[in-house]
Structure formats: C-alpha cells, structure tokens
Amino acid sequence: MNLEELSLYVQEGNLKKTKEFVLQLIKEKISAKKILDEALIAAMEQVGIKFKNNEIYVPEMLIAAKAMSAGLKILEPILTESGIKPIGTVVIGTVKGDLHDIGKNLVKMMMQGAGIKVHDLGVDVSPEVFVEKAAEVNADIVGISALLTTTMPSIGEVIKNFKANGVRDRYVFMIGGAPVTDSYAKQVDADIYMPDAATAAEAAKDILIKKYLS
Ligand code: B1M
C-alpha cells in the first residue's frame, strides 16, 4: 500500500478505497501531512490537469473531490489537534459564485491545529455575510478564498463592503486560492496573501501572537 496508489484511488473517485487506504497509512504511522501532500493534494493536481486537457469532465472532477474530502475528514482530527486555548478568531469563507471548498477547509483545519478559533462560512458567501459574521464573532482575521479567475474579483467586493460599513480597519484580511497573487492582494487592499494552508496558519498565528501576546 503506498501514497501513489492512494492518489490514483482519489483521482478515480473511489470513496471506499480512499477511506481504507488513509486509515491503513495512519496505522502504518505515515504522517497526516505526508498523506495530505503526497496523495490527496497530489491527486487533485492531477485531476486539474486532466480536466484542463479535456480528459475528464465536471462529474469526474466532482467524484474525485468527494473522495478527497472523505480522506481529509479522516485526517481532520490529527490536523486540528492543538490542545491549546484559542489565541484568536478567524472567519473564513469562499466568495460568492464559487463552490470550491477543499483548499478553504484545509486552511481552516491548519488554523484550528495552530490553536485558532475558526468560524467557517462555507462556500458562495456574499460580501454582506462576511461583514455580519465578522462582527458577530468579533473576528481578528477575515479569510477569503477564491478558486476561479471569474470569482477572484469578489474578494475585492468583500473588502469594499467592509469599507462601506466603516469597519475595514477592525480586521486583518488574509486571502488565498489558486488564481490569487500577492499583487492582487495589494490591488484590493487585502493585508496578506498566503499560497497554502500551512503558511496561512503560521501567518495567522504570528498576527494573533503580535496582537495579544507581545
Ligand atoms: Co473546479 N476548477 N470548477 N471544481 N477545480 C479548478 C479550480 C480549475 C483550475 C480546473 C482546471 O481548469 N484546471 C478551473 C478554474 C480555471 C480558472 O478559473 N482559471 C476550474 C473550473 C473551470 C471549474 C468550473 C467552472 C467547471 C465547470 O463547471 N465548467 C466549476 C465552477 C463551479 C463553481 O465554483 N461555481 C468547477 C467545479 C468544481 C467541482 C465542484 C467539480 C470541484 C470542487 C469541489 C469542492 O471543492 N468541494 C472542482 C475541483 C475539485 C477543482 C480542482 C480539480 C481541484 C481544486 C482543489 O480542491 N485543489 C481545480 C484544479 C486545481 O486546483 N488543480 C479546479 C486542492 C486544494 C487543496 O487546493 O483549493 O488551491 P486549493 O487550495 C490551496 C491554496 O490555493 C491555498 O491553500 C490551499 C491548500 O494548500 N488556499 C488558501 C486556498 N484558499 C485559501 C485561503 C487563504 C490562504 C490560502 O486565506 C484565507
């Protein structure tokens, strides 16, 4: 049993085998991070390439994503284990019109693992809901994810809406997702762009430690 085989099962969308393999690899003491990076995320990269080359279509992409999510669910307790009192609060969501949530869920899990309280707004989140929820939970950081070039401009809309409500400066805005870049972050007045879940969690932790503990 190896990580490459697991990646193939995820790509095929074989839910049963994906779950069995993830459980077995955990038993074999393969780290959750290795399973995640070298099998689950690697599988999604392959799925993306095949979709782009018209070798597979949306239904196949969807069943692969379901298998990926099932594997991720098994890893979740390990990735979110922190054992420390929450050091701050994040609200996170995927922008309006965008249904991609695997990356956002990973960012959430890594942040929880770093001892941060995370309120997940889900997918297809309107700018208004970001503003309402951030106020309701007294968030420190607002995390915004977008996976499509067509939905990326909605990140700017979310930040504009905070400005329109006069509350932009209450929060740190962290943005990410495949099409997002550092220069886009500057363009829409986000505070920080993070390329992956691990660095997003590290950066959030640093921001919160500076705010509350130093
Ligand atoms: Co879609 N899709 N998809 N898709 N999909 C992409 C994104 C695409 C690149 C595929 C391709 O063409 N190669 C392409 C976008 C092209 C573009 O915009 N330039 C695409 C397309 C076109 C579409 C549809 C339009 C297809 C159609 O209907 N014709 C459609 C849109 C639906 C919609 O949203 N309205 C669509 C639908 C879907 C499914 C629903 C079938 C499914 C999503 C299921 C789900 O998420 N529950 C799906 C999938 C699975 C993908 C790919 C294959 C995989 C995405 C993924 O989960 N990656 C993707 C191709 C690819 O990315 N290689 C593709 C793994 C994940 C761990 O990575 O999400 O990038 P990622 O997250 C990373 C970082 O980006 C970062 O950290 C994460 C972990 O390290 N990050 C953050 C993410 N958010 C962050 C937030 C932060 C910080 C970091 O701070 C807050």
Residue 210 scores a pLDDT above 80: yes
Q: Is the CB of 66 under 6 A from ligand 1?
A: no
Quote the ligand 1 centre to 88 CA distance (angstroms). 28
Task: Convert the pLDDT of each residue in 154-194 to its tens digit.
Answer: 999 999 999 999 999 999 999 999 999 999 999 999 999 99
Six token digits for residue 110: 């890594």
pTM of the model: 0.95
Domains 3-81 and 89-213 share a fold: no
Task: Convert the pLDDT of each residue in 22-56 to its tens digit.
Answer: 999 999 999 999 999 999 999 999 999 999 999 99
Residue 198 scores a pLDDT above 70: yes
Q: Where are the domains of the chain?
A: 3-81, 89-213
Quote the ligand 1 centre to 47 CA distance (angstroms). 10
Q: Is the CB of 42 under 6 A from ligand 1?
A: no
Quote the ligand 1 centre to 99 CA distance (angstroms). 8
Q: Is the CB of 67 under 6 A from ligand 1?
A: no
Task: Convert the pLDDT of each residue in 88-98 to its tens digit.
Answer: 999 999 999 99
Please state, in angstroms and as integers, the Cα–Cα distance from residue 53 to each residue in 103, 133, 144, 205, following that order. Answer: 22, 39, 29, 39
Report domain 89-213's class.
alpha beta
Look at residues 162, 166, 161, 156 and name the one whose alpha carbon lies nearest to residue 190.
Answer: 156
Q: Which residue has the tokens 């997918």?
A: 123
Q: Is the CB of 8 under 6 A from ligand 1?
A: no
| Superfamily of segment(s) 3-81 | Methionine synthase domain (1.10.1240.10)
Residue 1 scores a pLDDT above 70: no
